[in-house]
Amino acid sequence: MTQSLSLTVDLGTEPGIKTVTALRDQLMTAIAQSADVVIRGDQVTRIDISALQVLAAAHQSATAAGCRIRLEAPLDGALQLALKRTGLVSAEGRPQTREGDFWILSTAAKDEAA
């Protein structure tokens, strides 16, 4: 299968237990089809731990497949707040888990929308 340069997966507004199966499927397809996957979280207003677990698993799958995967979301948004509340990043925004820099948000999604 030919891999595309980059694919984007949008988290939507409220990724959580009701949407994790679809999110997982989207992420696994993107990882299989591309060497570069961007997960956009600029529309997230609320996110639960199940969605964060799927993101961590997607990071592990992407790493194993040699795929670059990254999160794009506003630094003052709901995704960043959830990462801090769950301890995935420190209050200063530094990664606190083995996924490391994966949890450091890029603001490209916000910049493109401006």
Q: pLDDT for 35-70, tens place per residue?
A: 999 999 999 999 999 999 999 999 999 999 999 999
The C-alpha atoms of residue 92 and residue 19 are separated, in whole angstroms, by 29
Does the pTM exceed 0.75?
A: yes
CA torsion 56→58→60→63, rounded to 10°?
-130
* Residue 102 contacts residue 73 (beta carbons within 8 Å): no
What pLDDT is attached to residue 5?
Answer: 85
Q: How many CA atoms lie within 13 A of 15 on its CB side?
A: 26
Domains by residue range for the chain, with CATH: 7-113 (3.30.750.24)
What pLDDT is attached to residue 111?
Answer: 43
What pLDDT is attached to residue 6?
Answer: 92
The C-alpha atoms of residue 48 and residue 85 are separated, in whole angstroms, by 11
Average pLDDT, rounded, for the chain: 90
What pLDDT is attached to residue 108?
Answer: 63
**pLDDT tops 90 at residue 84:** yes
